[in-house]
Amino acid sequence: MSNTTGSTSAGWVASRRRRLALGLGVLTLVAFAGVLALGYASGREKLVGIVSFAFVAMVAGVALHRSGRFTTPTGRLWAQGLASGAMLASAAAFLAPKAIGDHPEYGGFAIAFGYLLGYAGHELGHLVGHRSLPLNGAVSELTLHALLAGGVMGVVYGTLPSLTPLFGYGIVAHKLPAGFGGAVALDRDDLPASVMALPAAAVALVAVPLSIATPALGATLRAAFFGVSTGVFAHVALDMIPECTGGGSGHGHGGVTCGPDADRRRHHAVGSTLTGAVVVFTAWLALAVA
């Protein structure tokens, strides 16, 4: 009888968490639409275009995962590896140079603090699941990164480039893998994909109001913003990296289960992460020399 009662209680908690997650997604979309309207009304058309593009890129990553092309164990391993490699390469190529370029020391320390902040968010994020909140650790980290990125965009609005193919690629290169990886984590925790509306919209929710209310920041503060954002995003990437830590024990990391065929899976894990990074580099190179 107690087992039945415990199972019923757990099912109710899981159902309540899913409903809260769906409500959070809907509220986020409403707020996102309102912020876009505010941006247009305030003459921030360029910024509205950029944050909308970032939103669509992350949603596309979620849709790619939901397409069902990565349902086998090997497919899920490649999904995580590709996303992890692409995210890490994007953090190193598109975010870290901005932090270091504005101020090498402050930018470097901010990257370190950002990485540790991501680690803290991951560890403390396990408490989210214990409290039946409509988030998990991965989505929380992605949202933090997006909020920081939106802060940077808002305070440096005047120097933002136009949405050229190369700049657009830079957005897609880390937003699409982030959306894909977040959707993988949500599936693992039995949460609806609607939760991804929060990190997808978070850039806009911060960037547009800050662009209206905040004066331009100095190089040191820009370096700090970019650095922390880089570190958090790098931690998300490495947190997702597929890693087999046991021989035949069935122990796994990053949602990848490694059993008796662990050696073969290790080959796939290494190949997928390297491929993700190479894809990002190859696409950037093609656009950069075009």
E strand or H helix at 232: helix 219-240
The predicted structure's pLDDT at residue 250: 36
132: CB partners within 8 A, 6+ apart: 13, 16, 17, 20
Q: Say how far apart CA 38 and CA 33 lie, in whole Å.
A: 9
227: CB partners within 8 A, 6+ apart: 96, 99, 100, 106, 107, 108, 109, 110, 111, 113, 114
- Minimal CA–CA distance to 50: which of 285, 207, 232? 207
Lowest mean pLDDT across 43-57, 98-112, 159-173: 159-173
Most confident among 59-73, 145-159, 197-211 (mean pLDDT): 197-211
Lowest mean pLDDT across 32-46, 69-83, 244-258: 244-258
Q: How far apart are the first and last CA of the chain?
A: 69
The predicted structure's pLDDT at residue 107: 93
Provide the pLDDT confidence category of residue 98 given band limits of 50, 70 and 90.
confident
The predicted structure's pLDDT at residue 39: 92
178: CB partners within 8 A, 6+ apart: 58, 61, 83, 87, 142, 145, 199, 233, 236
Q: What is the pTM of this model?
A: 0.73
What secondary structure letter does DSSP report for 253? B
Q: Kindly report the CA angle at 256 between 252 and 259, in degrees rounded to 5?
A: 60
